[in-house]
Structure formats: structure tokens, C-alpha cells
Amino acid sequence: MRKVLKNKQLVLGSMLVLAIIILAVFAPLIAPYDPVGNNLLSSLQPPGGNHILGTDSLGRDQLSRIIYGSRISLMLGLTTQLINTLIGVILGVLAGYFGGRVDNLIMGLTNVMLSIPAIILGLTIMAVMGPGLINIFIALGFTLWTYTCRVVRAQTMLIKEKEFVKAAEALGASSWRIAIKHIIPQIVGPVLVIATFGAASAILLEASLSFLGIGVQPPTPSWGAMLSRGREYIWTAPWLMIYPGLFLVTTILGLNLMGDGLRDYWDPKM
């Protein structure tokens, strides 16, 4: 615990992410107003008074929409990264442990995926399937697994040459047992580090898709959609872009700091 507390990046990043998680979990208790309730008489009110962060063009409370928007960002970011991590770990272990044709096939697919920018691939999938929350899960859940796969493959190739793996093979342990019981537990640290960075990338990608109008659809609050709508009033009501942007930056910064801190914790020599 003392080692963790000495890691300032890990502590600060964890605190920021924990604060966003608390907002998302307790949104109904924290949000002062209905995030989708219109009140045209209160449209475009500046921050202050009854609306701490102001209102949008439909009179909806900005703070309430930002708080509920954290639910969308965290749910999509964490869930899709879990899917990407599972895909990356499975394919990486298969490629690194079995090698040969399996390795060539998986690495060929990985290189193809890496050659296509994630935002372009996400746009293509969303253009084919159409906007919607479920389609975003599918688009993000199958686009960000490549880095995990490459790292897991490299780690697996190193670990499979260790003495304890050779001993398990000599004792007749099956390949699947060796992979699950001996290899995967050894790569938890690097995978956890990549997962934090991947979650930040997924949140940013979701915000980008929503900003372009093919992500989360109105009236569901989303930080990306709020930024997109707020750009129409960037000179007359700048708070419509400033505050959603600050929360988005804070969340991504927290996850990146956590990732850096975990990397230092798992591999202090680096």
C-alpha cells in the first residue's frame, strides 16, 4: 500500500476516475434536474443561480446532462474495452504459444486492423449498421483489441520458454491448461495497463462518433453530442462546449494517469 501511495500518478488518476464513477453510479441522486426535460423559458441561461453550469438551447440543465453523460461514457468505455481485452488476450496467447500458421494468421489480421485508423473503422461500421447505442458497442468492441493482442503475444513468447512452463509440459499438462494456469496469470499486469489506456481511447472514440452525429442519439445525454450541439453557440453560449469538454478531458486524463501509474507499479525498472 505504501508503494501505491507513493505513486502520485496512480493515486491522482484513480481519484479522478473514482470521482467520475461516483457521478455515474449516483447520477439520479446527484443530478438536480431531469437531463431530458425541456424548459424553453430557461434556454441558454449562463452558469449561476439555479443552474450551476447553465442551460442549453432547450432549457435543459447542463450539469444534469453532464452527470448522466458520464454513465454513457463509462459504460461504453469500460464494457467495450473488456470485450477488446478478451479478444486481444485470447488471440495473443494463441499466436504466441502455438506459433506457426496460427501466429501468421492472427498477426496478419492484426496488421490489417492496425493499418486502419480506429476512427475510420468505427465510422465505417456505424455507417453500415446505423446510429444507436447497441451499434456503438459493436463498433468499439471489435476495433481496439490489436494493441492488447501484440503485447500479449510478445509476453507469451517469452513466458513459454520459462522453466515452469517447460516443467508443466514435461508433466503432460495440456496446452489449454498451460495457457490458462501458467501464462495468462503472468501477463495480468501489462494487460491491465493496456486496458486503462484502451478505455480512454474508447471513451474518446465514442465522443468523436457522437460529435459527428452517428453515435448516441438525442435526447440521450452524451458528452460528444453535447459538444457537437454546443459548437453552434460557441460565441454566444461558450459554456455549452467548455464544461462537457472539461469532463471529457478529466476522464481521459485520469485513465491515462492511472495507466502510467500501473505501468510504473508493475515494471518499476522501466
- Specify the number of domains making up the chain: 1
The model's pTM is: 0.85
Query: Which three cell numbers mark 194?
Result: 493496456
Let me know: does 129 contact 217? Beta carbons within 8 Å.
no
Q: Classify residue 5: in a domain, yes or no.
A: no
Q: Classify residue 45: in a domain, yes or no.
A: no
Q: Classify residue 79: in a domain, yes or no.
A: yes
Query: Which three cell numbers mark 54?
Result: 447553465
Q: Classify residue 173: in a domain, yes or no.
A: yes
What is the C-alpha separation between 199 and 188, in angstroms, rounded? 16
Is the per-residue pLDDT at 262 higher than 70? yes
Is the per-residue pLDDT at 270 higher than 80? no
pLDDT digits (tens, 9 = 90+) for 79-129: 888 888 999 999 999 998 888 888 899 999 998 888 888 888 888 888 888
CATH number at residue 106: 1.10.3720.10
pLDDT at 187: 87
Where are the alpha helices (H) located in the chain, listed in sequence order?
Answer: 2-6, 8-25, 27-30, 62-98, 100-114, 118-129, 133-141, 146-159, 163-170, 175-178, 188-211, 223-230, 239-266
Query: Which three cell numbers mark 236?
Result: 454566444
Q: Classify residue 50: in a domain, yes or no.
A: no
Q: Classify residue 27: in a domain, yes or no.
A: no
Q: Classify residue 125: in a domain, yes or no.
A: yes
Q: Classify residue 147: in a domain, yes or no.
A: yes
- Using CA of residue 99, residue 101, residue 106, residue 109, what is the dihedral sign? positive
What are residue 220's phi and psi, to 5 degrees?
-60, 125
Structural domain boundaries enclosing 197: 12-20+62-266
